[in-house]
A and B are shown apart, each in its own frame.
Chain A
Amino acid sequence: MTLRAPERPARRARRRRGYALFALFAFPNLALIAVFAYWPILANLYLSLTSWDFISPEPLYVGLTNYTSMLASPSFHKVLWVSVVWVVVVVGISLVLGVLLALLFSRKLPGTSAVTGIVFTPHVVSGAAIAVVWLFIFDPNYGLARVVFEAFGADSPDWTTDADWALPALLIVSIWKGVGFVSIVYLAGIQGLPTDVLEAARLDGAGPVQTFLRVMLPLLSPTTFFLVITQTIGAFQAFDIIAVMTSGGPASATTTLSWFIYEQAFLRSNVGLSAAAGTVMFVLLMLITALQFRFVEKRVHY
């Protein structure tokens, strides 16, 4: 057992100064997080227990009515289904295409830098601008898609006005916009792989496909883990492309959770239900992220 000597006044003063300095540095950030993250979450939680149209003098407390009616509604089930399809397809295809593109870029073929830049560009362009361009491309009467389909002797589908084609159309645009970012992150990951391991695989007789599947992909798992989390959160929040191209239609065919939240609040003036859907989205994202950390991270080779 050791006894601690009483702290001397000078040391205590130094510690206090240290705490004060810490508080000084931390406070602005904590205040920002509290005001722009925690407060909106709490406020949203409160609003989800009310019935309010944004402009009435005060919200009316209705308990869990918004949650029960929303979770029992078939149209909300459809929204959840569309959201799941959206997230799985966007994240899945972006990752597969992204890693393949990164492999291609890592070979340093002539013109790679230019192509890399071109592939990355859609990521930095505004989603609204991209959506407007794709609306022209998809126009069945005078869009580029018509020319392509006519070359094969077929009619272009009514991409954004056919309930069966609208979601695939938006998925194409969303993947096209996001794949550049995924490929650049994967490229950075590939360039950071230990060359001796790849060399050893080659010496042991592993072919390119085997090397990619058995050596590179497992080594890239931290990158994949990072991308799965960020892309999943991003896909859940997709809004701009949907807003400009289809406004969630036709017949709710492209209404994801994020559009549903907007529609309820600003087009239907149903703030309570919108807030309840926001809370569902928050909980879903927290759950998905927690599950990913709990189960997927175990398979990550750092």
Chain B
Amino acid sequence: MADDRARTSRARPAAASPSRRQLLGAGLLAAGTPLLGGCFGLGETEGLVLEQPGGHVPAEFEDRQRVVIWSAYTAHNAEVIAANIDAFHAAQDEIYAEVQIFDSYDGVESKLSASLQARQVPDIVVLSDVVWNRFYLAEALEPLTGYFDTSFDTDAFDERFLDEGTVKDDIWWVPFGRSTPLFYYNREIFEAVGLPDRAPETYTEWSEWAKEVDGLEFDGNRVRMRAYIGGDDWYFSGAIRAFGGAYSDGLDMTLTTEESIAALEYDRKFIHDDGYGYLAADATGDFTSGACATVLQSTGTLSGIKEAATFDFGCGFLPQEVTTGVPTGGGGLSIMRYASAERKQAAWEVIKFLSSGQASVDWTLGSGYVPCTKDAVESEEIAQRSAEDPRYQVAIDQLAIAQGPDIARRFVPEMIVEAKNAIQSVYSAGEDAEKVLTRMEKELEPAVDRVREKYEQRVGE
């Protein structure tokens, strides 16, 4: 009882006015906030130079200017780059380029974000066609226009690809491993059901052809027409255009227009009403094992599919519907603004080497990406490969109708995650397309608002 009284008498004043302890806590929080605030972000960036990340320089190159490259290319592509870098080291004696490899474009992006906080930056970064825009908005990239000269002019690159990396007349991102999706089809399945040896011209035709394939057994599998990829909205970003829609017009979302909804509704019907397609865990693996008759995949996967497939397959342009819808993708190179002037100049020399001459040809041949430099486009070796295997030429020809990403996909970081969620909701759970796209548009509103001011300032309408 006495104990209860004591507890009550202690509690009452605390409820009426803050206790000494609460005041002390609030004071500490108030004092700590500016202190904590100073711990994040780069603060004033005018003239800021950040350190290079650590690494290892072989004794023979110790006297050279070190350039650190953060690359998203792994496995065979990493070997091709390593061979080109070795050639670069042999071709000159002033610069040592060290390639540090990450598992993906996302891996480079995460690490670069973290490294800016650790006040370190590499000199060259491989950034995807979408991600570089975010670093551009944050003013973390070096404008490259001033580095071009008569020995290496802007016409060294494919004009269309170079335009993608150009904002307000300055070049920020040069093309390197660029690609588009291709339509891959299993020729043996097409022949077995009497379909012509070509890609369907429209999405509607694709759907009609799917009826023929439905129920076929191939290599012990019940074949379905299309394996959908849910971990990447790239293919849908092309389809939505083919149906006359788009993710956005500038930063104004256009996901709920009739045309945009029709694109996703097509997929819903294809998978859930007709049963012609399915969301695959490994679409490429399913195609090469004969579990599906067709798949949309990157041009960069062509060599891998050639190696894995035990049947004859063909490649064609992506289907159209009311118009064409071919997105470009892949990665390019940027130089970080916060590297020192010497490091940036040396980095440019590395980019020049990788983007010209035999290095550029070897990279295109070895990686399977489409040629995006003048030397690669004009190369006899690449022309010869296209003559020997016309499927490589399909990718090059399709570039004529390819387009870069919509503005919202480029500049709103949440767009791709939301788009993946949306297509998975339809592909996997069979949700209504209109409902999903309406929800997506609503979820993205705050994200669009967050970048709008910076976008208008750095890009403008």
Contacts and interface: CB of A to CB of B under 8 A. Distances in A.
B43 interface: yes
B230 A249 contact: yes
A268 B414 contact: yes
Given A46-B33, A160-B281, A75 B443 contact: yes
B248 to A, nearest CB: 17
B407 interface: no
B314 interface: no
A211 interface: no
A192 B294 CA distance: 61
A161 B282 CA distance: 10
Given A43-B39, A55-B140, A251 B280 contact: no
Interface residues of A, number: 42
B391 interface: no
Contacts of A221: none
Given A158-B281, A251-B421, A251-B424, A270 B36 contact: no
Given A158-B278, A249-B420, A57 B427 contact: no
A162 interface: yes
A197 B32 CA distance: 57
B428 A163 contact: yes
A250 B447 contact: no
A57 B44 CA distance: 7
Interface stretch (B109-117, B185-193, B251-259, B344-352): B109-117
B425 A142 contact: no
A250 B428 CA distance: 7
Contact of B279 (A61, A139, A158, A266): A158
Given A55-B134, A69-B446, A250 B279 contact: yes
B231 A249 contact: yes
A197 to B, nearest CB: 38
A140 B281 CA distance: 9
B134 A139 contact: no
Interface string B9-50: 000000000000000000000001100110111111100000
A55 B37 contact: no
A258 B41 CA distance: 24
Contact of B417 (A135, A141, A163, A263): A263
Contacts of A42: 32, 36
Contacts of B416: 267
Contacts of A135: 281
B429 interface: yes
Interface in A32-71: 42-43, 46-47, 50-59, 61, 69
A267 B36 contact: no
A59 B34 CA distance: 11
A247 B232 CA distance: 12
Contact of A250 (B424, B443, B454): B424
Interface in A199-232: none
A237 interface: no
Nearest to A73: B443
Contact of B281 (A58, A69, A139, A163): A139
A289 interface: no
Contacts of A269: 113, 134, 413-414
B295 to A, nearest CB: 13
B16 to A, nearest CB: 24
Contacts of B135: 55
Nearest to A159: B281
Given A69-B446, A250-B424, A58 B278 contact: no
Q: Which of B37, B40, B416, B429 has the most CB of A within 10 A?
A: B40
Given A251-B425, A267-B417, A270-B414, A57 B230 contact: no
A57 B221 CA distance: 54
Nearest to B111: A266
Contacts of B230: 161, 249-250
A247 B428 contact: no
B291 interface: yes
A252 interface: yes
A56 B40 CA distance: 9
B289 A141 contact: yes
B337 to A, nearest CB: 11
B231 A55 contact: no
Contact of B427 (A55, A69, A250): A250
Nearest to A59: B40
A270 B421 contact: no
A145 B282 CA distance: 16
B110 A266 contact: yes
A58 B43 contact: yes
Contacts of B447: 268, 270
B138 interface: yes
Given A55-B134, A250-B429, A47 B116 contact: no
Contacts of B32: 42, 46
Contacts of A57: 41-45, 138-139
Contacts of B362: none
B106 interface: yes
B286 interface: yes
Nearest to B33: A46
B450 interface: yes
B138 A55 contact: yes
A275 B214 CA distance: 48
Contacts of A270: 413-414, 447
A246 to B, nearest CB: 9
Nearest to A270: B414
Nearest to A56: B138
Interface string B396-429: 0000000000000000011011001100110111
A53 B231 CA distance: 23
B279 A56 contact: no
Contacts of B291: 141
Interface string A121-138: 000000000000001001
A265 B206 CA distance: 39
Nearest to A262: B110
Interface of A: 42-43, 46-47, 50-59, 61, 69, 75, 135, 138-142, 158-164, 247, 249-253, 263, 266-270
Given A57-B138, A250-B230, A266-B110, 5 more contacts: A55-B113, A141-B289, A161-B278, A161-B280, A251-B429
Interface of B: 32-33, 36-37, 39-45, 106, 109-110, 112-114, 116-117, 134-135, 138-140, 221, 230-231, 278-282, 285-286, 289, 291, 413-414, 416-417, 420-421, 424-425, 427-429, 431, 443, 446-447, 450, 454
6 contacts: A57-B43, A141-B285, A141-B286, A162-B279, A250-B424, A269-B413
